[in-house]
Amino acid sequence: MRTTSTFMKSAAVLSVAGLALTACGDGDGDGGGSDAVEEHCSGEGDQGEITIGVFSGWEEGIAASELWNCILTAEGYDVTLEEAEAGPVFSGLASGDYDLNLDVWQPVTHASYIEDYGDTLEEYGSWYDDAELTIAVNEDAPIDSLEELADNADEFGNTIVGIESGAGLTGVTEDEVIPTYGLEDMDFTTSSTPAMLSELQTATDNDENIVVTLWHPHWAYEAFPIKDLEDPEGTLGDAETLSVFGREGFSDDHPEVAEWMENFEMDAELLYDLENEMFNEAEEDADYEEIVADWVSENQDYVDGLTEGGDGDDADSDDDAEDAEDTEDAEDEDSEGEEN
């Protein structure tokens, strides 16, 4: 059984009203993408069900989740991706409604959620170690630092364009950035990541100044002429890690998958390449499953390495150890025979 999850491409690039993620049945589309899905992202679904909670609008998490949707489906799991804001995802992990989330930012962005729910979750380690929160402006904006923003607020329509209200980045902006740099008189608008990207697209098209909350890694840095504002007071924190968390008991139910999550790593070049294919190069209404399947076919060695290890390899290792022990015993017997 193959489970497909499809996101609609962000409004920032193609004027789509929102970002949607759904679990749906097998597709019957034509073309190379469908062939790649059948070859790389198909399975029987007989290894159990896994539901991955995905943070709304956070593209690195969407990309990683879609990648593992493909991999786990090929390994025989029945996978569903469900989109929600950070709070409901953490709550869903704690209650057991979700099995995994692949986009937990530490130590700053999701600290409050980990404090609230961490005792009931399993942590499998980080897969990306150079993430950071940012405040970005158009490349030709008249300022380079957050220290200059208050005095130049009129240049940006007196507005900071944010993302989801429950996002960790939103909390850091409200609690740290705005009071530290005296930005209380500016309007801080929150709605969704696609809405923010749509505002960024409009400002770019009209050659207008704009301030947005953003983060690395994000495909927008390739798609738009933007720059990060310096943060001399360090309000946005240092580089963060992206980690995989699971519900309590997941590692007992699916020890092999838990081990794959523990060993999962992805460097910036691979992540940016996958994000670019999914969110920048893709056509409107693109099926992410097909895009990911094509990407997997072009990065097969890396993808194959993500499922090395686990119970099967442990058994192989035990067999190898037994073979080595038998060989050693035989050599000892030969040595004793020669001595006698």
For 193-216, what is each residue's pLDDT tens digit?
999 999 999 999 999 999 999 999
In this prediction, residue 298 carries a pLDDT of: 96
Beta strands per DSSP E along the chain: 4-7, 21-24, 49-55, 78-84, 100-106, 121-138, 159-161, 187-189, 211-216, 226-228, 240-247
Task: State the pairing for strand pair 211-216/121-138.
Answer: antiparallel
Query: Same CATH topology for 4-130+240-311 and 132-228?
Result: yes
Q: Confidence band (pLDDT; 50, 70, 90) for 222?
A: confident
Task: State the pairing for strand pair 187-189/159-161.
Answer: parallel
For 82-107, what is each residue's pLDDT tens digit?
999 999 999 999 999 999 999 999 99
In this prediction, residue 32 carries a pLDDT of: 53
**Coil/strand/helix, residue 190:** coil
Evaluate if pTM is beyond 0.85. no
Average pLDDT value for residue range 247-270: 97
Task: Quote the Cα angle for 303-43-123, to 5°.
Answer: 55
Cis peptide upstream of residue 255 (ω within 30 degrees of 0): no
pLDDT mean across residues, the chain: 85
Average pLDDT value for residue range 39-65: 94
Task: Quote the Cα angle for 87-289-170, to 5°.
Answer: 25
Rounded Cα distance between 90 and 286, Å, is 28
For 105-143, what is each residue's pLDDT tens digit?
999 999 999 999 999 999 999 999 999 999 999 999 999
For CA atoms 262, 268, 270, 272, the dihedral sign is positive
- Domain locations along the chain: 4-130+240-311, 132-228
Q: Confidence band (pLDDT; 50, 70, 90) for 4?
A: very low
Looking at domain 132-228, its CATH architecture is: 3-Layer(aba) Sandwich (3.40)
137 contacts 156 by C-beta, under 8 angstroms: yes
Rounded Cα distance between 227 and 327, Å, is 62
For residue 315, the Cα-to-chain-centroid distance in whole angstroms is: 31
Does the domain at 4-130+240-311 match CATH 2.60.120.620? Answer given as no
